[in-house]
Chain A
Amino acid sequence: MTAVTATETVAATADIRKRGRLVFAATIIILCAWVLAPIYLLVVNALSSPDQVNAFPKSFVPGFETDSIAFFMGFAGVAKALFNSILVACITMALSIGLGAPAGYALSRFEFRGKGVFRIMVLMTRAFPLPLLALPLAVLFIRTGLDDTALGLALVHTTLALPFAVLITFSLFSGIPVELEEAAWTLGCTRVQAFRKVVLPLVLPGIAASAVFAFVISWNEVFAAAVLTIENRTLTAFLLQNLDVSPLHLKFAGGAVLVVPALIFIFAVRKYLFAMWGIANR
């Protein structure tokens, strides 16, 4: 009697486990499709000729035509917007690392009052809605003459990228045993020398990754870019302004030009983004 119930229970558990695995797999597939399908369609259509894009039914294999992309790149203002995007992203990158890395180092190495609060606050800045800030910022920028400049926009983008820069570098520095620095001090280094000769070589790849991430945040940002620039539009703002009146194939080409570099960059530095959340702490 008990034996029978036991077998039944085992069978039932196995059954539940099997279904659980099925649900798990299905969830993963849906999530992946959610992200990958639009990107795939974007790329397919960007690489197809205008006729193929407008044809029906749609083809799921790209025509490998570069007409759309080429036309898009030749479109008046695109080159300048692209340049602006890169310029703003580079300034953002420099500022976020320049300010974020020291903060990350301090968080990982020193005990100070309000450290926990500071960490939370860093994260909280991300919860503050940008649209709320945009108008006062625009007014302030016009008064100080920062409006419609790469530097002004980069400052706003830095506030967006800085929390990530702080948290990523914090986790990087925490991964380096403090004894390595102490050993360097006992071997004749000042604090600065120990940092330069021991810590810096070890964190450099991670710092680079964090910089790339800051670059991508700026590259992708559209709201502040649209509000704070007029003449010196970045690519995102430029596309937002122009593309809704453009033909379909141009929209796809513009989208691909925006998305693909960002994707490649993020893919290259994914290891360090995981480290930020402590998933892979190395």
Chain B
Amino acid sequence: MAEISIKQVAKQFGDFTALHSVDLTVADQEFMVLLGASGCGKTTLLRIIAGLETPTQGEVWIGGRRVDHLPPRQRGIAMVFQNYAVFPHLTVFENIAFGLRMKKLPQVEIDRRVTRTAELMHIGQLLKRYSGQLSGGQRQRVAVARALAMEPDVILMDEPLSNLDALLRLEMRAELKGVLAESKTTTIYVTHDQVEAMSLADRIAVMDKGLIVQAERPIEVYRNPAARFVGSFIGNPPMNFLPARKADNGAWRVAGVTFEGPKAEREEIAFAIRPEDLSHAESGLPAEVRVVEPLGPHVLVTCDVEGHLFRAVLESDIVLSRGDTVKLAPTPDRIRWFDPETEQSLQPH
């Protein structure tokens, strides 16, 4: 049982604030992904949980125990590093057994655990090799096996797949998800790859400029971004934004079209819609086609709506060419609204 809670953790490096007072609770056996662009503080947060970095303020609790003053070895965690950190002077067997030997487990138990985790990660035939004789993917498997062999309460992963090539990454992603679900540990996984985050996470914590902007189930993060940043960061292509001016009766005018919207004490707010929630219709937002990219299952159309970049994912049988003007109708219940200043969602949750 290991619930992790992070209370008002902040970190400063000199004048640079890497984390502003972060609060986050990860439930036991939950798979939490920290997602954000580079420099948003996600790795710093992970390293604070691991004990490799000391927070400037705040508390870290793992399994009901306050750990922020403890060294990494006393926190009941295991970590997988981006560059694998497989010890080059030890065989794969000794790498996986390293932590177990430090715990002074009996040899029989060490053999059992090494063999089991090696089989689990499909590296059973590599146990006598050194890391120099392994490929990147194999090294990453060793690193994961080494962490799993510890049978830790918490596994922390720092962009473990980012050094692998695309195909291998896809394969390892599915495998990791299966293995970690089976091992019943709490996992915190750092990535900048939104697809990885969506596919692995029970919950995604989206981070920006040292803050957690939103921490919810992947589909929630995707459908109902809590802030404009989340909408523009997640989704490929990302959300479209257009300015909306106040009209009569609490409605809002967007590019000459009137939509029902939230009540707001502002003259102008931001209208947002995902590209796949648009369809070609008789009436809708007037868009001038700039680029048409047929992608097989659908067509990605980049347009211009009143001078704003606007993308739509449309049916593949549509015939469009550059310079055409089309009407794009948004699916009404998928429209989102954001405050232009606070950038927060104006959606009642």
Contacts and interface: CB of A to CB of B under 8 A. Distances in A.
7 contacts: A180-B87, A183-B85, A184-B87, A185-B52, A186-B50, A186-B73, A188-B103
Interface string A178-217: 0110111111111001000110011000000000000000
Given A187-B98, A187-B99, A177 B85 contact: yes
B85 A182 contact: yes
B274 interface: no
B318 interface: no
Nearest to A194: B73
Interface in B47-97: 50-52, 71-73, 77-79, 81-83, 85, 87-89
A179 B150 CA distance: 18
B102 interface: yes
A187 B88 contact: no
Contact of B89 (A183, A186, A193, A202): A202
A248 to B, nearest CB: 52
A155 B223 CA distance: 72
A183 B79 CA distance: 7
Nearest to B77: A186
Interface residues of A, number: 17
A183 B150 contact: no
B73 A188 contact: yes
B139 interface: no
Contacts of B336: none
Contacts of B150: 187
A191 to B, nearest CB: 8
A189 B81 contact: no
Select the residue from A179, A183, A202 with max chain B CB neighbours within 10 A: A183
A161 to B, nearest CB: 27
B89 A201 contact: yes
Contacts of A184: 87, 98
Contacts of A193: 102
Nearest to A180: B85
B83 A190 contact: no
A182 to B, nearest CB: 5
Interface string B32-57: 00000000000000000011100000
A170 to B, nearest CB: 20
A190 B71 contact: yes
Nearest to A197: B98
Given A183-B85, A201-B89, A202-B89, 18 more contacts: A180-B87, A182-B50, A182-B85, A183-B143, A183-B146, A184-B87, A185-B51, A185-B72, A185-B73, A186-B77, A186-B78, A187-B150, A188-B73, A188-B103, A189-B73, A190-B71, A193-B102, A197-B98
Interface string A60-75: 0000000000000000
Interface string A138-179: 000000000000000000000000000000000000000101
Contacts, number: 58
A38 to B, nearest CB: 42
A202 B98 contact: no
A183 B73 contact: no
Nearest to A200: B89
Interface residues of B, number: 23
A186 B83 contact: no
Interface in B89-145: 89, 98-99, 102-103, 143
B64 to A, nearest CB: 20
A187 B73 contact: yes
A201 B124 CA distance: 26
Contacts of A179: 81-83, 85
A198 B103 CA distance: 16
Contacts of B79: 182-183, 186
Given A198-B87, A202-B89, A183 B81 contact: yes
A185 B303 CA distance: 53
B165 to A, nearest CB: 21
Contacts of B50: 182, 186
A187 B71 contact: no
A231 B222 CA distance: 85
Contacts of B52: 182, 185-186
A185 B71 contact: yes
Contacts of A183: 79, 81, 85, 87, 143, 146
Given A179-B81, A179-B83, A193-B102, A186 B72 contact: yes
Given A179-B81, A193-B102, A187 B146 contact: yes
Select the residue from B82, B85, B99, B146 with max chain A CB neighbours within 10 A: B85
A189 B72 CA distance: 9
Contacts of B98: 184, 187, 197
Given A179-B81, A182-B81, A187 B102 contact: yes
Contacts of B85: 177, 179-180, 182-183
Contacts of B89: 198, 201-202
A201 B85 CA distance: 15
A88 to B, nearest CB: 34
A116 to B, nearest CB: 16
Q: Which 9 A-B pairs have the closest CB atoms?
A: A188-B102, A187-B99, A183-B85, A179-B85, A185-B72, A186-B79, A186-B72, A188-B73, A201-B89
A239 to B, nearest CB: 43
Select the residue from B50, B88, B103 with max chain A CB neighbours within 10 A: B88
Nearest to A187: B99
A201 B87 CA distance: 10
